[in-house]
């Protein structure tokens, strides 16, 4: 009896510990607080982050990125081959997979899901707005059903990044029956094959997803996910602190500091593949001189900017893309913060100090620029310390993008998220002469440097990675000398959650399935 009591006492004492040691448990509801509601859960039509992060819980692709890297692995396709001419991609599909509505997953489903996007004659084509074609199936000209479980995609030209496109969120496979039934409302009732299935959507409030008990792979650990829209960052923080939500997205840097200080809560950080920059319009006569642009770089104290406004959740940038991407040129010496030197450079260049520069501030915050207006206010003060007068200009986001791509600004803030983690995405896409044509220039510095562009084009045609690295290292040196942008920061992406959750994943692009996440009872 006594022994039993001791045993009992020990067991009781150890119970909390054993709960910790015990592996994943099944059940519970994961409440996920975020800044806004989703718009369209048919990911082939989704344009906003809130739709995408909800949609990837329910819909699956042929292929997907690995859990916490950007390597492509099978999902609904078991394997794939590319023909010798590089034009035909053949996918062997997984067997025995069922959609949430009980329909079988097969080649026809892949055909319908893809053909509706690219074939204007497909019956489902009229039911949607197919955006970002260049990032998804745009290069595909034909889809062939080889047999029930084999599909072939034929491209117009050899197009190596197709696999990465298919792994993005833009090419999900949906149930053909559901697409026919819901027509243009499929985005409000997504039916896929994922570990969670759609249950209910209260607009502007919450989306409820249930665990899919018939999932083909590892079944989800939690029974239910509720995605809750909480527009105010401070409200989301409070909901996380009080335990009302398990995960809170998009907290501002000051709130994240409070989360870190709370021992009930946890923060995961990952270097992201983004850059926030200040583009200098090189077409404006008063900004044409590279000395002026280098002076602006010298005037800005990136370290303090990051320590204060980013609350340390970023690394200062010196190149157009972050150190996590290959061929990053670490030999480059950043322009040191030195207002006196900046002033001297400006005087040498004969800069007209009576001119007031327009400093365009983004009206929306992004992971690469969490506090755009405050950043602009700080930059304005730094410029003033170097004798440069500036005026902050704000407008709505649509107009901002249109006008900056038209080169109407002096200085503008923007950023980029390199989805496929390739230097080409940043260097050619944002800085080459080819992309500096107005209107619609992605190179908003309108910087047309022949040598830089030549290096980028040469790298595109080169298949040897070492050779490409050499070319990109050189390109970054030219960028540094010419400084068409002042690269400001590469921000850290963050996930804040309650410690009662376990196995919380975070990819560099912030999109993850939560199927392996489990919650303490």
Rule CB under 8 A: which residues touch other proteins? 29, 31, 39-40, 47-48, 129, 131-135, 184-185, 187-188, 203-205, 226, 228, 230-235, 237-239, 242, 244-245, 252, 254-255, 258, 304-305, 307-309, 361, 363, 371, 373-374, 376-378, 380-381, 392-399, 401-402, 414-417, 439-440, 442
Given strand 77-82, what is the order of strands in its sheet? 77-82, 88-93, 150-155, 140-147
User: Tokens 């409030």 label which residue?
Assistant: 205
Compute the least distance from the CB of residue 244 to other proteins, in Å.
5
Residues 6+ apart with CB under 8 A from 138: 118
Compute the least distance from the CB of residue 381 to other proteins, in Å.
5
Cβ proximity to other proteins: between 24 and 243 the closer is: 243
How many whole angstroms separate alpha carbon 6 and alpha carbon 132? Answer: 66
Give the residue from 384, 381, 411, 379 showing the smallest Cα distance to 484. Answer: 411
Cβ proximity to other proteins: between 63 and 245 the closer is: 245
Residues 6+ apart with CB under 8 A from 163: 63, 72, 80, 89
Compute the least distance from the CB of residue 429 to other proteins, in Å.
10
How many whole angstroms separate alpha carbon 488 and alpha carbon 314? Answer: 10
Compute the least distance from the CB of residue 378 to other proteins, in Å.
5
Alpha carbons within 13 angstroms on the beta-carbon side of residue 292 total: 22
Compute the least distance from the CB of residue 171 to other proteins, in Å.
16
Cβ proximity to other proteins: between 144 and 394 the closer is: 394
How many whole angstroms separate alpha carbon 472 and alpha carbon 316? Answer: 20
Cβ proximity to other proteins: between 382 and 514 the closer is: 382
Cβ proximity to other proteins: between 11 and 126 the closer is: 126
Compute the least distance from the CB of residue 119 to other proteins, in Å.
15
Cβ proximity to other proteins: between 72 and 378 the closer is: 378
Compute the least distance from the CB of residue 75 to other proteins, in Å.
23
Which two three-digit tokens encode residue 496? 């804040």
Which two three-digit tokens encode residue 182? 């819901």
Compute the least distance from the CB of residue 494 to other proteins, in Å.
17
Cβ proximity to other proteins: between 193 and 509 the closer is: 509
Three-state DSSP class for residue 67? coil
CB-based contact 258:403 (threshold 8 Å): no
Cβ proximity to other proteins: between 76 and 178 the closer is: 178
How many whole angstroms separate alpha carbon 231 and alpha carbon 11? Answer: 45
Which two three-digit tokens encode residue 194? 């994922």
CB-based contact 130:120 (threshold 8 Å): no
Give the residue from 205, 329, 287, 245 showing the smallest Cα distance to 483. Answer: 287
Q: What are phi and psi of 488, to 5 degrees?
A: -100, -55
């Amino acid at each position: 009896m006594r022994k039993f009591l001791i045993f009992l006492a020990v067991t009781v004492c150890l119970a909390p510990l054993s709960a910790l040691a015990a592996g994943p448990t099944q059940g519970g509801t994961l409440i996920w607080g975020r800044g806004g509601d989703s718009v369209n859960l048919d990911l082939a039509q989704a344009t906003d982050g809130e739709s995408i992060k909800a949609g990837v819980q329910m819909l699956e692709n042929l292929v997907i990125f690995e859990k916490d890297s950007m390597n492509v692995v099978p999902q609904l396709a078991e394997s794939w081959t590319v023909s010798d001419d590089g034009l035909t991609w053949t996918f062997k599909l997984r067997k025995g997979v069922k959609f949430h509505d009980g329909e079988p997953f097969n080649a026809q489903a892949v055909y319908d899901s893809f053909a509706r996007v690219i074939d204007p004659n497909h019956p489902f084509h009229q039911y949607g707005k197919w955006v970002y074609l260049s990032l998804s199936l745009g290069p595909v000209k034909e889809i062939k059903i080889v047999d029930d479980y084999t599909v072939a995609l034929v491209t117009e030209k050899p197009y190596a990044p197709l696999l990465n496109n298919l792994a993005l969120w833009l090419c999900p496979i949906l149930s053909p029956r559901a697409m026919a039934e819901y027509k243009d409302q499929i985005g409000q009732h997504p039916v896929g094959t994922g570990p969670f299935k759609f249950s209910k959507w209260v607009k502007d409030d919450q989306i409820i997803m249930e665990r899919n008990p018939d999932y083909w792979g590892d079944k989800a650990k939690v029974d239910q996910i509720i995605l809750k829209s909480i527009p105010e960052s401070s409200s989301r923080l409070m909901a996380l602190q009080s335990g009302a939500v398990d995960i809170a997205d998009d907290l501002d840097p000051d709130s994240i500091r409070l989360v870190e200080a709370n021992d009930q809560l946890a923060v995961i950080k990952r270097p992201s593949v983004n850059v926030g920059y200040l583009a200098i319009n090189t077409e404006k006569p008063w900004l044409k001189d590279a000395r002026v642009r280098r002076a602006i770089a010298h005037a800005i104290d990136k370290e303090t900017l990051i320590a204060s406004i980013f609350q340390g959740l970023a690394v200062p940038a010196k190149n157009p893309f972050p150190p996590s991407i290959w061929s990053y040129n670490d030999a480059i010496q950043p322009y040191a913060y030195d207002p006196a030197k900046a002033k001297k450079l400006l005087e040498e260049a004969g800069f007209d100090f009576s001119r007031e520069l327009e400093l365009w501030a983004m009206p929306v915050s992004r992971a690469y620029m969490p506090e755009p207006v405050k950043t602009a206010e700080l930059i304005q003060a730094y410029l003033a310390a170097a004798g440069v007068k500036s005026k902050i200009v704000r407008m709505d986001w649509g107009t901002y993008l249109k006008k900056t791509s038209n080169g109407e600004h002096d200085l503008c803030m923007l950023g980029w998220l390199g989805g496929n983690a390739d230097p080409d995405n940043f260097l050619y896409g944002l800085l080459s002469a080819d992309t500096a044509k107005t209107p619609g220039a992605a190179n908003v510095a309108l910087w047309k440097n022949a040598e830089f562009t030549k290096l980028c084009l040469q790298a595109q045609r080169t298949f040897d990675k070492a050779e490409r690295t050499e070319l990109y290292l050189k390109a970054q040196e030219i960028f540094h000398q010419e400084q068409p942008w002042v690269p400001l920061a590469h921000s850290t992406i963050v996930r804040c959650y309650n410690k009662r959750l376990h196995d919380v994943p975070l990819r560099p692009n912030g999109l993850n399935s939560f199927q392996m996440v489990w919650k303490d009872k």
